[in-house]
Structure 1
Amino acid sequence: MNILDTIIEKRRADISRLGFDFGFSLPARRERALHPFLAQKGVILEVKRASPSKGDISPDLDSYATAFSYAQSGARAISCLTETNYFKGTLADLMKVCRAVDDFEAQTGMPAPAVLRKDFLLSADEVEVAYRAGADAVLLIARILEKDLLLDMARTVVKFGMSALVEVRAQEDLEKLSFVFSQPDFAGLSGSKGNFVFGVNSRDLASFKIDLLHPSMMTEKIRQAVGSDARIVFESGVTNTECAASVAAMGFSGLLLGEAAAKNPSIRKNLVDSFVNSKATKNSEFWKNYACSAVQAGPKIKICGLTRLEDAVLAQNLGAAFTGFVFADAFPRSLTKEGRLEKLLPAFSQIKAKKVAVIVDVTSSEAKKAIQLVKDGMLDLIQFHKVRYEDVSPELLELPHYFATNSLEEYEKLVSKGEMRVLLDLHGDGDFSKITGDARSSGFVYEAKWLAGGISPENVAELVQKYKPELVDVSGGVEDKDKNGIKNEDKVKELIKNAGAFYE
C-alpha cells in the first residue's frame, strides 16, 4: 500500500467516526461571498504545517496570520490543507484562512485571494462542507475518484457556484476528464472563464520523486480532453525564484507553492513576482516542444562526440534523437580541431536530429563559437558540461540548453533551479542506487531521466531495465579502440537495438 492509499484509508475511517465535518462546528449556511479562483495568472500559496514526504514543515504555523501574509505577498489564491493525519490541517484552519482574507480585503480595499480547500475529498457531501466553511474552490484528485463520482462532485461544485482545481497525472485521469467534460451541462466550464482549473503535480505521490517536466508533458493532453483554453496549474517542486520563473516561462496559468512559502516568509513576495513577471524564452519553447514528444517506448538516444557528417547522418537514420558536438580544444573529439568544424558547418542542415553544442566553460573562444552557432540556429541547444549554474549568465540561460554533471549533489541543485532536464554521468561520485526507489528513503528528490557515462551496446539493456531512463547519451561506447570521434556503424546499430529491447 502506497502513502496515498494509506491517507485515504485513514480518512475514510475518520469520516466514519466523526462525520464529514470531522467534529468541527460549521455554519449552517455559507457566510461569505464567493471569490473567483485563478481568473488571472498567479500563484497559489499554501497553508501547510507538514507533509508525508517532509514531515514537519512549519508545525507552529498560525493559519490566520499566514494567510494574511500570503494576501499581502500578492497571492492570487490561498490553499489550505485540511487533512489531519499527515498534513496537520483542519477545517478550523480553513475558516481562519477565510476570515484572514476577508479582513485583508476590508482593511486594504484590495480583492481577497480565493481560498482553496486542499484535501483528499471523497464525496459530494465534502464539497458542500467546504462551501459552508467558506472555501471558494476545492481540490478534486482524479486519481482517487471513479469517473461517476468525479462527475457528481463536479456538478456539486457548479451547483454552489464554486470552482475546482482538478488534479491529473496519468492517462487514466485524462480519460475521466474526457468523460466529465463531454457531458452537455459542462460545455464551456473548463475554459478561461469557467469553474474548473486543472493541476498537474510534479511529484509522484507513489515515489515522492519530482519531475519538473511532467506537468508540461500533460498540458497538451489536458487541453485535448477538455478544451484549448484550459487553465493549468503547476503543482509542487518549486523552492526558489529561479525555478518559479522557469515554470512560468513554460506557460502555466498558476503555480501552487507549499513548503517554500510556508517555511520562508522573507521570499514569498519574490516567489510570486518571479512567477507572475516571467516571460517565455527560447529555452522554455524548446522544452515545451520536447515535452510533447518525450513519451515513447524506450529511451531516446544521443550519440555524442561526433566529428564526421557520415556518422551524424548514420545516427539520425538509425533513430538517434540527439547528436552531440564537442567544442573544447582539450578534448580529442572537439570539432574545433583539425578543421572538423569547417567541414561540417555547411552540412549541418542535413542533420535533422537535435544538434547539441557541448561546452565546458562559457568564456573560451571555442565556447563562444558554439554559443553563436546556437544563437544563429545552426545548432539547436547547448550542453553546459560540468559548468556551474552560477557561472552561466541569465542571457545564456534563455538559450535552449541543459546541464551535465557527475555529482548527485550538483544534479539536485541544478534541477531545483528549474532546469527541466540535467544529464547525469553515472561515472561520477556518489551512490547511484539513490536514483531509484522512494525519495523518502533515498533522500534523492528528483527523477534522473537523462543518463550518460560508460554506456555501451553491451550494458545498455541492463541500464535501461534498472533505471528506466528517458534518454541515454553515448560517445566512446560506439567507437573502436583508439578511434576517438569515429563511430562504428555496427556498434551504433547494436546500441539502439539493445536500448529498446526491454520495451518490446
Structure 2
Amino acid sequence: MLDKFREAKQLEIESLRKDFAEGRIPAAYQGERPSFVDAIRAKGPGAIIAEFKPASPSKGVLGENLNPLDWAETYAKNGAAAISVLTEHKYFKGTPDFLFMMNGPGVPLLRKDFIFDPLQVAMTASSPASAMLLIARMCDDAAHLRQLIEIARMPGLAPVVEIFDQADLDMAREAGADIIQVNNRDLDTLQVTLDQARKFITQKKEGELWICASGVNERAEVEEMASLGYDAVLIGTSLMRAENPGEKLAELTGAK
C-alpha cells in the first residue's frame, strides 16, 4: 500500500527538485502558525483532530464538490482541537491548496500526505500548516526520519510521526520524535482494530504527545482512548460520512 503512495508522489518530488535546481525555492509562510501541541494539550486528553478528506483508498469517494472553507468553519465551531487536511491527490482527492483555504478559523492544521523528501517538508513550511505527518516506515532509516523531523521544526512545524508496529516506534524514538500517532489500520488487509492503540499506549513516555488514528467513531471510544492516555484522537471517515458533521463532531467531543 505505501509503495503505491510513494510512487504517486514521484512526479511531485521531481517537480520540486526541478524548481529547486532552478532557484525557485518556496519562502516560509510568514503568517501566524498556531501551536498544534498547545491546542491538543488544551483540549486533551481525548482532543479531537477532525479530518477533511474527499476520498480514501478503502472507502472511495466520501463527498462530491465539497467546500473546504465550510468544513473548516464547521469543525472550528464544534470543538475540533485541530484539523487534519489530506493534500494527496491521486488516492484522497486532496491538494495543498486546502491548507490555505482552511486556514481562516485559526484552528491548527495538520498536513496529512506521504512525505519522505526534504523538499516536501520545505513546501509544507510555505503553507499555513502547523503540523505535518511523517510515516516512519516511508523513511529509509532513523537518520532519514530524523532529518525530516529537524527540517520540519526549523520553521515551527510540529512533526507527527505515524507508526504501525514496534519497529516503527523504535525508529521514531531513535529519530527524536515526540509526537507519536498510532494507526490502527493493517496496511495489508486494511482492517482496523483499536487493539493496536490499546497495545502501544503502554509504551508512552513522559513529555510525549500521543494520537490515536483510524477506527474511532463514537464518543465512548474517544473516552476510552483518553482514559488510556491518548492526548488526541484523529477522526475522519465518520465525520465525512455524517449527515450533519457539526452535530457528529459535537457528539464526539462530548459537547452534545
**What TM-score range do you get, normalising by the shorter chain?**
0.7 to 0.9
Which of 110, 125, 129 is equivalent to 2:119? Answer: 125
Q: Which residue identity is paired with 2:127?
A: A
Residue 20 of structure 1 deviates from its aligned partner by 6.9
Whole-angstrom distance in 2 between the partners of 1:205 and 1:68:
32
Whole-angstrom distance in 1 between the partners of 2:213 and 2:25:
29
Identify if the C-alpha distance between structure 1 residues 139 and 15 changes in structure 2 by more than 3 Å, giving closer, same or farther: same
Normalising by structure 2, report the TM-score: 0.87
Secondary structure, aligned partner of 1:34: coil
Residue 177 of structure 1 deviates from its aligned partner by 2.1
Say whether the 8 Å CA contact 2:16–2:119 is kept in structure 1: no
Greater Rg, structure 1 or structure 2? 1
Normalising by structure 1, report the TM-score: 0.45
Q: Is 1:156 aligned to residue 156 of structure 2?
A: no
Aligned residue for 1:6? Answer: 4
Residue 205 of structure 1 deviates from its aligned partner by 2.0
Identify if the C-alpha distance between structure 1 residues 167 and 43 changes in structure 2 by more than 3 Å, giving closer, same or farther: same
Residue 178 of structure 1 deviates from its aligned partner by 3.0
Say whether the 8 Å CA contact 2:36–2:108 is kept in structure 1: yes
Identify if the C-alpha distance between structure 1 residues 228 and 8 changes in structure 2 by more than 3 Å, giving closer, same or farther: same
Report the count of equivalent residues.
242
Which of 97, 100, 107 is equivalent to 1:95? Answer: 100
Which of 185, 193, 207 is equivalent to 2:189? Answer: 207
Say whether the 8 Å CA contact 1:143–1:173 is kept in structure 2: yes
Residue 26 of structure 1 deviates from its aligned partner by 10
Aligned residue for 1:37? Answer: 36
Aligned residue for 1:65? Answer: 70
Say whether the 8 Å CA contact 2:13–2:117 is kept in structure 1: no
Say whether the 8 Å CA contact 1:51–1:86 is kept in structure 2: yes
Whole-angstrom distance in 1 between the partners of 2:214 and 2:31:
29
Aligned residue for 1:358? Answer: none
Q: Which residue identity is paired with 1:31?
A: Q
Residue 168 of structure 1 deviates from its aligned partner by 1.1
Say whether the 8 Å CA contact 2:211–2:230 is kept in structure 1: yes
Secondary structure, aligned partner of 1:38: helix
Residue 82 of structure 1 deviates from its aligned partner by 0.4
Say whether the 8 Å CA contact 2:48–2:82 is kept in structure 1: yes
Residue 83 of structure 1 deviates from its aligned partner by 0.4
Aligned residue for 1:46? Answer: 51
Say whether the 8 Å CA contact 1:20–1:126 is kept in structure 2: no
Which of 134, 138, 141 is equivalent to 1:140? Answer: 134
Q: Is 1:255 aligned to residue 233 of structure 2?
A: yes
Identify if the C-alpha distance between structure 1 residues 21 and 231 changes in structure 2 by more than 3 Å, giving closer, same or farther: farther
Q: Is 1:83 aligned to residue 83 of structure 2?
A: no
Task: List alignment gaps of at least 5 residues for structure 2.
Answer: none
Say whether the 8 Å CA contact 1:157–1:164 is kept in structure 2: yes
Say whether the 8 Å CA contact 2:13–2:119 is kept in structure 1: no
Secondary structure, aligned partner of 2:100: helix
After the TM superposition, which residues 337-348 of structure 1 pair with which residues of structure 2 at under 5 Å, given as runs? none
Say whether the 8 Å CA contact 2:201–2:228 is kept in structure 1: no
Secondary structure, aligned partner of 1:139: strand
Q: How big is the alpha-carbon RMSD for the aligned residues of Structure 1 and Structure 2?
A: 2.3
Q: Deviations over 1:272-315 (max 9, x none)?
A: 227xx9xxxxxxxxxxxxxxxxxxxxxxxxxxxxxxxxxxxxxx
Whole-angstrom distance in 2 between the partners of 1:73 and 1:95:
20
Runs of 4+ displaced beyond 3 Å:
25-29
Residue 262 of structure 1 deviates from its aligned partner by 1.9
Q: Is 1:229 aligned to residue 207 of structure 2?
A: yes
Say whether the 8 Å CA contact 1:123–1:149 is kept in structure 2: no
Residue 57 of structure 1 deviates from its aligned partner by 1.0
Whole-angstrom distance in 2 between the partners of 1:200 and 1:115:
19
Aligned residue for 1:324? Answer: none
Q: Which residue identity is paired with 2:64?
A: P
Whole-angstrom distance in 1 between the partners of 2:175 and 2:251:
37
Secondary structure, aligned partner of 1:207: coil
Say whether the 8 Å CA contact 2:53–2:94 is kept in structure 1: yes
Task: List alignment gaps of at least 5 residues for structure 1.
Answer: 102-111, 182-189, 191-195, 278-504
Residue 38 of structure 1 deviates from its aligned partner by 3.3
Aligned residue for 1:74? Answer: 79
Q: Deviations over 1:12-40 (max 9, x none)?
A: 13432x43799xx9973413212111321
After the TM superposition, which residues 273-312 of structure 1 pair with which residues of structure 2 at under 5 Å, given as runs? 273=254
Whole-angstrom distance in 2 between the partners of 1:86 and 1:257:
18
Aligned residue for 2:173? Answer: 178
Q: Which residue identity is paired with 1:136?
A: S
Q: Deviations over 1:40-59 (max 9, x none)?
A: 11110011111000001123
Whole-angstrom distance in 2 between the partners of 1:37 and 1:180:
20
Q: Is 1:19 aligned to residue 16 of structure 2?
A: yes
Identify if the C-alpha distance between structure 1 residues 20 and 78 changes in structure 2 by more than 3 Å, giving closer, same or farther: farther
Task: Report percent identity of matched pairs.
Answer: 29
Q: Which has the higher contact order (CA 8 A, sep 6+)?
A: 2
